[in-house]
Amino acid sequence: MRIRRPIVAGNWKLNGSRAVCRSLVAAVGDGLSAQGLGPPVLAAADSRVEVLVCPPFVYLSELAGLVAGHQLKLGAQDVAVEDAGAFTGEVSAPMLRDVGCQYVIVGHSERRALFGDTDERVAGKVIAAVRAGLAPILCVGETLAERDSGQTLAVVRRQLAAVFSALESASLAPAAWRELAVAYEPVWAIGTGRTATPEQAQEVHADIRATAARRDATMSGALRILYGGSVKASNARDLFAMRDIDGGLIGGASLQAAEFVSICKAAAG
């Protein structure tokens, strides 16, 4: 029996159309039901796995009902630091709540590398999410150069510290700990087909939990730490068998319903 309920989150990135997104949600929902993980199972407070999909912003609103009908949860891929105002192009946390999101991915390495998300900005986004009642999935992870130069744990600790300190200064800790999930996503494993071995991932996950424990020992035991980076049906089971791996953040494989459902099944154990 797992102490923490695993999460499997599909990060659809910049993919889909209205029709594609609708049929993907339906196929995932039906596929989960066929595997005995349908609505009654997923809806239970102690369900074996929590499954969420994170479509592009423009489709969130229209998918909310369909997603809820399958007892899946809805997440966004990013969020603004600010709640409202003159911030052209942004989408705020209260807006995401308003359209039915429960989760939001924050600090994905693509946002950090391509769109200027610094540790401080990421912390601001986590705070905005928590204040609006959204559960943030905070992404952390090192580049290949950082891994090769032995910096992995230092980089991940720095990324975590920025968020933990900001939550403490905003007096949102320890309550916010209950909402937060962390996704360890080594940048070199994202979309590359190159996955961290279960042992490599476990080493970092254990360090994330230890880093969290230095802030709050109670929180760290309950903190869900997902692995992301080329997770597929064929490697999910071995990754999820590791002690500190509590599910996955799935990119490419989340766009194929059957593959994604198999990953959810692996997490449900």
CB nearer to ligand PGA: pick between 21 and 173: 21
Helices 57-69, 18-34: inter-axial angle, 10-degree rounding:
30
Contact indicator for 268, 49 with CB cutoff of 8 Å: yes
Q: Does 181 bind ligand PGA (CB under 6 A)?
A: no
Catalytic residue set: 108, 185
Site string for ligand PGA, 132-171 (x = CB under 6 A): ----------------------------------------
Q: Does 11 bind ligand PGA (CB under 6 A)?
A: yes
Q: Does 250 bind ligand PGA (CB under 6 A)?
A: yes
- Whole-Å CA distances, 228 to 81, 121, 129, 160, 264: 24, 21, 21, 16, 14
Among 37, 239, 249, 264, binds ligand PGA (CB under 6 A): 249
Provide CB contacts within 8 A for 148, sequence distance 6+: none
Least Å distance, CB 77 to ligand PGA, is 9
> CB-hemisphere CA count at 13 Å for 134?
32
Site string for ligand PGA, 45-84 (x = CB under 6 A): ----------------------------------------
11 has which bridge partners?
A: 54
Among 36, 133, 191, 221, binds ligand PGA (CB under 6 A): 191
Stretch of 77-85, 126-134, 143-151, 226-234 contacting ligand PGA, by CB under 6 A: 226-234
Among 78, 119, 142, 185, binds ligand PGA (CB under 6 A): 185
Least Å distance, CB 19 to ligand PGA, is 22
14, 33, 4: which is closest to 257 by C-alpha? 33
- Whole-Å CA distances, 54 to 75, 99, 211, 262: 4, 13, 27, 18
Least Å distance, CB 173 to ligand PGA, is 26
Stretch of 17-25, 56-64, 90-98, 250-258 contacting ligand PGA, by CB under 6 A: 250-258
Return phi, psi of residue 174, to 5°. Answer: -90, -5
Residue 224, H or E segment? strand 224-228
